[in-house]
Amino acid sequence: MMETGDGIMLLVDKPLEWTSFDVVNKLRYILHTRKIGHAGTLDPLATGLLIICAGKMTKRIDEYQGMEKEYTGTITLGQTTPSFDLETLPSAPVDISHITEEVIKTAAATFVGNIEQVPPAHSSIKVDGRRAYSHARKGRVVEMKPRQVTVRTFEITACRFPEVEFRVVCSKGTYIRSLAHDLGQQLGVGAHLSSLCRTRIGEYRLTDAETIEQIRARFEAAPSMS
């Protein structure tokens, strides 16, 4: 935690199935403040480090958002989903018996560097004034424009087929779901992101983060920040 004057920055361990806004909303109540926000969205099916800024520290949100991110997680080969993760149902599995760990590592290496990436249609990016996921969930075709991102590390840490464990270090704006999908396309068998945890934002690490309940225990009785 960082506290300056009437501003607070918190490192939060986001629970599974909570949206980033759920965390902000809960902490707005705990901290008794209206001036609060997060520095970088995590999808509901992702866990891990979320930076929350309250009071005057909200002025630093853009600074935190721009920092390098690190993730670990699992990619499932042989099945695709419309959302590129488990928010939507997987397709029927295809044969992946010809895929080896060496082939996967070689494919992953092609995504390291400055790359063009197409974000998922099931994302919070605005298209025609509305969030892309609101169009996608209604079955509408959403044209997502590619963007340049930087992937500094895409390391395959374990293979337990059809699951592949990984570690990624990347720039702001990188969609790990898209990385999983694109890896599956490169391998010719399809893939989707089956678990994700953000372990670092800049110099801030998940090991230093607190759960919502731990934060509640420290702050619920504190004076109002509003």
Any idea what the CATH number is for the domain that residue 212 is in? 3.30.2350.10
Assess whether 102 and 145 both reside in one domain: yes
Q: Cis omega before residue 162 (within 30°)? A: yes
Query: Does residue 26 lie within any of the structural domains?
Result: yes
What pLDDT, on the 0 to 100 scale, is given for residue 119? Answer: 81
Per-residue b/e over 90-122, b at no fewer than 16 CB within 10 Å?
Answer: beeeeebeebeeeebeebbeebbeebebebbbb
pTM of the model: 0.90
pLDDT (tens digit per residue) in 119-154: 876 656 665 666 655 655 656 666 668 899 999 999
Active site residue 43: yes
- Spot the catalytic one: 13, 43, 85, 182: 43
Share of the chain above pLDDT 70, in %: 84
Judge contact between 36 and 28, C-beta under 8 A: yes
**pLDDT (0 to 100) of residue 146:** 85
Q: What is the pLDDT along the chain (226 residues), one digit of tens a residue?
A: 666 557 899 999 999 999 999 999 999 999 889 999 999 999 999 999 999 999 999 999 999 999 999 999 999 999 999 999 999 999 999 999 999 999 999 999 999 999 999 887 665 666 566 665 565 565 666 666 889 999 999 999 999 999 999 999 999 999 999 999 999 999 999 999 999 999 999 999 999 999 999 999 987 656 555 5
Same domain (yes/no): 177, 194:
yes
170: in domain: yes
pLDDT at residue 189 in the model: 98
Q: Does 73 share its domain with 49?
A: no
Distance CA 118, CA 73 (A): 20
Q: Which residues contact 55 (CB under 8 A, 6 or more apart)?
A: 5, 6, 7, 8, 33, 35, 36, 225
Give the β-pairing of 191-201 and 46-54. Answer: parallel
pLDDT of residue 25: 96
Q: Where are the alpha helices (DSSP H) in 4-149?
A: 20-31, 61-65, 101-109, 132-136
Distance between the two ends of the chain, CA-based, in angstroms? 19
Q: Are residues 94 and 123 in the same domain?
A: yes
Contact by Cβ (8 Å): 40, 201: yes
Query: Domain check: are 170 and 208 in the same one?
Result: no
Is 149 found in the same domain as 99? yes
**Is 89 inside any structural domain?**
yes
Range of the domain at 89: 69-201
Q: Are 81 and 91 in contact (CB under 8 A)?
A: yes
pLDDT for residue 224:
54
Q: For 17, left (φ over 0), alpha (ψ -120 to 50), or beta?
A: left
The domain total for the chain is: 2
Query: Would you state the pLDDT for residue 99?
Result: 98
User: Do 85 and 137 belong together in one domain?
Assistant: yes
Q: Are 215 and 50 in contact (CB under 8 A)?
A: no
Kindly state the helix (H) or strand (E) to which residue 47 belongs, with its residue range.
strand 46-54
d(CA 132, CA 178): 15
Q: 100 and 134: one domain? A: yes
Domain assignment present for 226: no
